[in-house]
């Protein structure tokens, strides 16, 4: 019987405790905004790109020749972009080497890459529409003044002295 009374006390205690959590919320102070139940809206960060999305962005020259892809974004101690590591040359990852490109050498664009002369330019080499203005967390591509051969001649960027 004592065991039953201990169990009974535990049940009563749990019922009382659960009822205290189910009470109405406290009144909000005067002038405080009302709470919303909708999910938080994304922050409007116009003109900013996600660094994680910069990896893989294609790099072209002015002749619309693909030079390579961004493999890494390097930041200085203050968080400012110090350079981009671009993988150039090679085919399907074989024979590619990394070069370091300073931020002033790359021009980013949110519009799909255009090819050809002004009279015959196709609107889009990727056959995909321009992204909506709300979806510009990373650029479509980058361009730089270079040729494939000039980039292959640049020294390879190494992350450390042992690789």
Backbone angles phi, psi at 106, to 5 degrees: -105, 140
Give me the number of domains the chain comprises.
1
| pLDDT for 144 beyond 80 | yes
User: 99 and 148 in contact (C-beta within 8 Å)?
Assistant: no
Query: 48: which residues sit within 8 A by CB, 6+ positions away?
Result: 137
Task: Give domain status of residue 161, yes or no.
Answer: no
Mean pLDDT in the chain?
A: 75
What pLDDT was estimated at residue 114?
75
CA angle 89, 67, 159 (to 5 degrees): 60
Q: What is the mean pLDDT of residues 113-142?
A: 62
Domain containing 71 — which CATH number?
Answer: 2.30.30.240
Q: Within a domain: residue 80? A: yes
* Domain limits for position 109: 51-152
> Residue 40 falls within a domain, yes or no?
no
Residue 118's φ and ψ, nearest 5 degrees, are -60, -35
Q: Residue 39 domain-assigned?
A: no
Is residue 68 a part of any domain in this protein? yes
> Considering the domain boundaries, does residue 162 fall inside one?
no
Does 32 reside within a domain? no
Q: What is the mean pLDDT of residues 32-55?
A: 68
Please report whether residue 107 resides in a domain: yes
Per-residue pLDDT at 20: 47
Q: Which residue, 157, 150, 73, 77, is CA-closest to 108?
A: 73
pTM score: 0.62
């Amino acid at each position: 019987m004592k065991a039953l009374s201990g169990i009974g006390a535990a049940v009563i205690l749990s019922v009382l405790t659960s009822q205290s959590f189910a009470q109405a919320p406290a009144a909000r102070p005067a002038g405080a905004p009302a709470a919303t139940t909708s999910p938080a809206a994304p922050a409007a960060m116009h003109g900013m790109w996600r660094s994680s999305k910069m990896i893989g962005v294609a790099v072209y020259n002015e002749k619309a020749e693909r030079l390579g892809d961004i493999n890494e974004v390097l930041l200085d101690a203050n968080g400012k972009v110090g350079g981009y590591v671009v993988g150039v040359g090679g085919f399907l990852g074989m024979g590619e080497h990394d070069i370091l490109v300073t931020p002033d050498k790359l021009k980013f664009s949110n519009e799909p890459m255009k090819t050809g002369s002004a009279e015959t330019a196709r609107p889009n080499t990727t056959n995909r529409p321009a992204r909506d203005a709300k979806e510009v967390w990373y650029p479509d591509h980058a361009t730089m003044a270079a040729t494939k051969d000039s980039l292959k001649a640049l020294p390879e960027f190494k992350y450390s002295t042992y690789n």
